[in-house]
Each structure stands twice: as structure tokens, then as C-alpha cells.
Structure 1
């Protein structure tokens, strides 16, 4: 009898030691946060207010046949600098972007080759017609070409931030719209990610040859023959919202 009691007591003690251990290994159920993930989009188009032109000047002979009376690049440069000042543009809007030259030889048997220097400048203006006025005061025979290199906007960073905010608002509106369709509501935002950054800076399209090359005076300046597109800014914002 005593052996049976001892055995039963030992068995109960063993079971009592096992029960707490098995209770600790059982995970408690947790409430998972319901969420919705959406992507918002926004874009903006702005007209450029900073136009960058590459202007190339080159030396030439007034008497090309006899290669006499050479107009120096320094003379042409002075004309350009003065024209920029008279147009009311800051001095820093004009800078040198390159220097080069070429040899001109009319008759290999009689005349030696002559080196004619060329020089390229970058000119920043807010409107294309400003360029017309500047180049009209430079000797047209000394202007090799004038091309737009790029277009930009002085408030580009400000506009970028506006587009990002609108993209995020669009994401919130989209989440509210989708959840409303199933009788749910959006809660606080849990996560925000900026997916991509997009900016389009289209190059200008010339409808015809630039007539500014043939202008002799400011009075002869016609309307600008230059057509360019707007700068397009677009952004996508991904956001995760809690579902109430």
C-alpha cells in the first residue's frame, strides 16, 4: 500500500512539473494590423524661364577674296559683351564655353593658309526674343551659329516639392476611395516611400533657319522663330495606411 501511495505522489509531481512548461510554449494569439498599400501620382508642366544658348563667333575677312581686313575674335567678343549689357542682362549670364579655330586657304599655289579663331559662349536668357535682340547688335558675319543647349526653371526645386505633396495626397485619396467601396475607412499612415523622380527637359525645335543671323539692327528683329515645349515634372509616392 505504501509503495502505491509513493508511486501516485511521484506521478502527480511529474505532471505538475510538465504542465507549466507546455503552457509557456503555446503562443498567445496577436491582433495583426490590417493595412492597404497604394501608389499616388502627380505631374506638373511649367514654361521654362531659363534658356541656355550656345553662341559661336568666328573671325572672318571683310575682303574674303584677297584675305584682307580680318575681323578679330576680340572685336566680336566686345560687341557681344556690350550687347548683353545693353539688353539689361547680368554679366554672369555670359560665359566662355569653348575655343577653337580653322584654317582658310583659297589658293594653295598663291596664298598660305590662314588660321581663323572661333569662340563659343553660353548665354542665359529668360525669353528667346532676348537672344534676338543681343545677336542683332553683333556683326552677323561673325556669328557662326546659335543653338539652345538646355532649358530650365529658376523655381524647379519648389515645383518638385509641390508635385511630391500632390502625389502623396493622391495616394491618400486613392486609399480612401478603395476602402469606401467595401465599407472600410483608412487610418493613420504607416509608411511612405518615394518611388521615382521624373523630369523632362525637351530640346527646342526650330521651325526654320534662325533669321537672327542676317539681322543688321535691333529695329529689324522679327518675332522669335523658336518653338520649345514645357518642362514636365512627375512623381510617384507609395504609401501604406492602416485600415480602421
Structure 2
């Protein structure tokens, strides 16, 4: 019995020391830190402009004008503007013709193309050539920049530098210094392209294009709005 009592006493004391021992070592306070968000933006002129062109078989004086004939003339017109024919491709790799029923007696076909040009001034010239060829379905499908990946890297660097600058001047104001970054969280870059697709609606109105680009009346040159890149980066810095 005495041995049993001694065991109970020892177990009780060990448990008591363990419970109270936890209160003797409080958690250390978290190191001081500052949280900031750096931002950056940049505007660039698009140097990749994509023109969607649709060619359809048609009749002129009861004579069918084939897609092949119109395509040949289109290529000649493109070459005359100094545009590499490699910039002309079938849209969505759709090599098959789209069949269109016509008066239930014949089947007309159409093909969709995409033409890439590098400057807004060429766009106006392309539409003028399309007007001459009586190709009435053409529009700007999208715009982009050839160095978009590099531009995204540059703007991210600017954003994180902006975060560091913010931390520096805020802490300097209270006599503190910025320490090492503890957390860095970047937000996705969203290029802002305010462009609606233009459409030639008649063979006489190649310059009658409505979208968020503007046309200089004297030179007939299309001016596209710049692509705006915006990003932000959250950084948590320690305070020395």
C-alpha cells in the first residue's frame, strides 16, 4: 500500500509541474513588420494588329467569282503594301470552307482569314485595298504588343520597387528602418485594351470605321489607343 501511495504522489507531482510549467514560458512576441502594396502602370502602342477578313463566293453579272480568285487578288494586294504573306493565315486553322445555301440551287462558300500588321497606318491601307476588291467583311479582331512578356516583367519590377520605397519613407518618418521581405504576393497583370471591332459596312465606306481608335481626317491614318498595363504587389517587410 505504501508503495502504491508513493506512486500516486509522484504521478500527481509530475502532472502538476507539467501543467504549471507551461505558464513559465510565454510565447515570444512577433517581430514588428510593415505591410505595403506597390503599384505600377505603363502604356504602350500596339505593334501587332490583327485584321479578320471573310471572303465569300459571289456572283457578278451571273458569273460566280470563286474564293480562289478573290484570295489570289487579296494576296497580290497584301504584297503590294509590303506585307509578308506569312502574316496572312486561315482563322482557327479552318481550312474547310463554310457552306452557305443560296436560293436552294447552289452552294456558296466562305473562308475566314487573319492578317497581322505592325502599324496603325498600314491598317487604313489594308481597308482601302479591301474596298477596291469589294471585300465587305473585315474587322479589327485584337491588338497586342510583340514584347508583352518583357513589358510584364518590367512593370512587376517597378511595382515591387514602389513597395520598397513606400516602406522606406514610412518607416524613416518614425525613425525606423526597413528589414527583409517576409512575404511577397503579386497580383496578375491585366492589359487594358479599349478597342471594339470595326466593320466595313459598305464598299464606299472603307474609312467609315467605328471603334475606340480614331482616324485623322487629313491623313486617313488610324490612331489606336495605347495598351495600358497595370499591376500591384503586396510585400510584408520586417522592421529592423
Do structure 1's residue 148 and structure 2's residue 150 form an aligned pair? Answer: no
Q: Which runs of 5+ in 2 are unaligned?
A: 1-9, 209-217
Residue 170 of structure 2 is aligned to residue 174 of structure 1 = no
Number of residue pairs matched by the alignment = 213
Q: Decide whether the 8 Å contact of 2:51 with 2:141 is kept in 1.
A: yes
Q: Deviations over 1:180-230 (max 9, x none)?
A: 23222212222211133322122247599684389xxxxxxx844644321
Tell me which of 70, 77, 80 is aligned to 2:71: 77
Contact 1:35 1:243 in 2 (8 A): yes
1:119 aligns with 2:116: no
Note the residue ranges of structure 1 that are not aligned, 5 or more in a row.
1-13, 106-111, 215-221
Does structure 2 retain, via aligned residues, the 8 Å contact 1:58–1:142? no
Return the alpha-carbon distance in structure 1 between the equivalents of residues 84 and 198 of structure 2: 27
Q: Structure 1 length as normaliser, TM-score?
A: 0.73
**Given that residues 205 and 227 in structure 1 are in contact (C-alpha distance below 8 angstroms), is that contact kept between their aligned partners in structure 2?**
no
Whole-angstrom CA distance in 2 between matches of 1:117 and 1:22: 86
- The alignment's TM-score, normalised by the length of structure 2, stands at 0.74
Partner Cα separation in structure 2 for residue 44 and residue 170 of structure 1: 14
Alignment-derived partner of residue 225 in structure 2: 229
Match of 1:44 in 2: 42
**Alpha carbon RMSD of aligned pairs, Å?**
3.3
Give the equivalent residue in structure 1 for 2:214: none
Take 1:208 and 1:142, find their aligned partners in 2: how far apart are those partners? 10
Alignment CA distance shift 1:155-1:230 (3 Å): same
Does structure 2 retain, via aligned residues, the 8 Å contact 1:163–1:235?
Answer: yes
Q: Which residue of the partner structure matches residue 61 of structure 1?
A: 59
Q: CA deviation at 1:57?
A: 1.7
Greater gyration radius = 1
Identify which range, 20-29 or 194-203, moves more after superposition. 20-29
